[in-house]
């Protein structure tokens, strides 16, 4: 088995995905491919390490892939279910961080507010990994671009259309897509555009990588000729009270057979899941042979093992 070096000089935490340079990201994908191809070579990478996972929101994929990944690497994990109260309610986030750093070697957190995660990271002298916040979902976007690289053999100039809400998923696709040199086109309804500062940063990085970032209004314009079409829920976790209003606003942004037909002939469909069939995507698209949703889900495991290896060993 060829040895693959851990990418050097990666920052301690993974909070946004913008911590890594395009070159570090390329090395990172190589490591993830190596771990996927040769899992046995990494069985004791985290031996003797204990991680904690703090989740303020529910999860299937993120929880199971992190817990499985940590076990596969020889480490152990303590899951703290924080869905009944917000982080910081029982005791200050600073105290949580300062306690945890005395016992465990890493923290994986799913939070409502990115600021809570930033505060954990500022105060904990162990790596903190974002397992989804209101702003970003870096682990998912890393797995998604890794999946696209497997599929298309390269990411430079790859045309990815994101249709729907300018949410955490959209932000992370912009951050990572720019670093991969991809051509990311986003179409959202008015008032649901991605955060302007995140778009500006992605455009700056895309100038270096010869990628391209476009923020559009019409879904057809984004999807036309795209090799990958991505959508996410219209109401994210925590926005349930807006569901009815959003179903009206986003109706024209459904990824259905007619919209998907405007993509390239070999186009793939992606969704981070959970999905609502009949709302943001029709069964005819998400359950078609073009859909690679379960490859994305599988790659969460391999990519997160590479994240743990990079930040903790």
The residues carrying an active-site annotation are 110, 137, 140, 232, 272, 300
Instruction: For residue 232, state whether it binds ligand NVA (rule: CB under 6 A).
Output: yes
Sign of CA dihedral 266, 272, 274, 277: negative
Among 45, 141, 169, 184, binds ligand NVA (CB under 6 A): 169
Least distance from ligand NVA to the Cβ atom of residue 279, Å: 13
The answer for residues whose C-beta is within 8 angstroms of residue 194's C-beta and 6 or more apart is 166, 167, 170, 171, 174, 186, 188, 215
CA distance 127 to 51: 10
Give whichever of 149 and 232 is closer to ligand NVA, judged by the CB atom.
232
Write the CA distances from 195 to 140, 199, 203, integer angstroms: 18, 6, 12
**β-bridge pairing 159-163 and 128-130:** unpaired
* DSSP assignment of 240-299: GGGHHHHHHHTGGG-B-HHHHTTS-TT-EEEE-S---BTTTB-HHHHTSTTB-HHHHHHH
Using CB under 6 A as the binding rule, whether residue 141 contacts ligand NVA is answered as no
- The residues binding ligand CP (CB under 6 A) are 59-62, 132, 140, 272-273
Q: Which residues inside 270-309 make contact with ligand NVA, applying CB under 6 A?
A: 272
Tell the smallest beta-carbon distance from residue 56 to ligand CP (Å): 12
Burial class (CB within 10 angstroms; exposed 0-12, middle 13-18, buried 19+) of 108: buried
Which residue has its beta carbon closest to ligand NVA?
Answer: 236
Task: Pick one of ligand NVA, ligand CP, none as the site partner of residue 176 (Cβ within 5 to 8 A by kind).
Answer: none
Binding mask 74-113 for ligand NVA (x = CB under 6 A): ----------------------------------------
Q: Tell me how far, at minimum, the Cβ of 271 lies from ligand CP, in Å.
A: 9
The stretch among 12-20, 156-164, 165-173, 179-187 that binds ligand NVA (CB under 6 A) is 165-173
- Phi-psi region for residue 238, left (φ > 0), alpha (ψ -120 to 50) or beta? left
Of ligand CP, ligand NVA, none, which one sits near residue 60, judging by CB under 5 to 8 A according to partner kind?
ligand CP
Q: Which of 52, 130, 167, 231 binds ligand NVA (CB under 6 A)?
A: 167
> Residues interacting with ligand NVA, by CB under 6 A?
132, 137, 167-169, 232-233, 236-237, 272
């Amino acid at each position: 088995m060829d040895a693959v070096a851990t990418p050097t000089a990666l920052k301690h935490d993974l909070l946004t995905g913008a911590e890594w340079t395009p070159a570090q990201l390329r090395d990172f994908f190589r490591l993830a491919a190596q771990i996927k191809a040769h899992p046995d070579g990494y069985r004791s990478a985290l031996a003797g390490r204990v991680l904690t996972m703090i989740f303020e929101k529910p999860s299937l994929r993120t929880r199971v892939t992190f817990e499985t990944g940590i076990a596969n690497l020889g480490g152990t994990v303590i899951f703290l279910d924080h869905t009944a109260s917000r982080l910081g309610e029982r005791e200050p986030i600073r105290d949580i961080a300062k306690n945890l750093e005395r016992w465990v070697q890493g923290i994986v957190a799913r939070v409502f507010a990115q600021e809570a995660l930033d505060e954990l990271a500022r105060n904990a002298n162990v790596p903190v990994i974002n397992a989804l916040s209101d702003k970003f979902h870096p682990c998912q976007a890393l797995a998604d671009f890794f999946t696209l690289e497997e599929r298309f053999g390269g990411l430079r100039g790859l045309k990815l259309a994101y249709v729907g809400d300018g949410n955490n998923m959209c932000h992370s696709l912009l951050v990572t897509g720019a670093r991969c040199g991809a051509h990311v086109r986003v179409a959202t309804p008015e008032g649901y555009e991605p955060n302007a500062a995140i778009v500006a940063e992605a455009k700056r990085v895309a100038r270096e990588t010869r990628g391209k970032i476009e923020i559009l209004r019409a879904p057809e314009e984004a999807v036309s000729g795209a090799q990958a079409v991505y959508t996410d829920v219209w109401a994210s976790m925590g926005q349930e009270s807006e569901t009815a209003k959003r179903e009206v606003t986003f109706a024209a942004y459904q990824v259905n057979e007619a919209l998907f037909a405007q993509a390239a002939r070999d186009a793939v469909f992606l969704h981070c899941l959970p999905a609502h069939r009949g709302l943001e995507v029709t069964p005819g698209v998400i359950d078609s042979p073009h859909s690679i949703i379960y490859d994305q889900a599988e790659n969460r495991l391999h990519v997160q093992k590479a994240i743990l290896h990079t930040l903790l060993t």
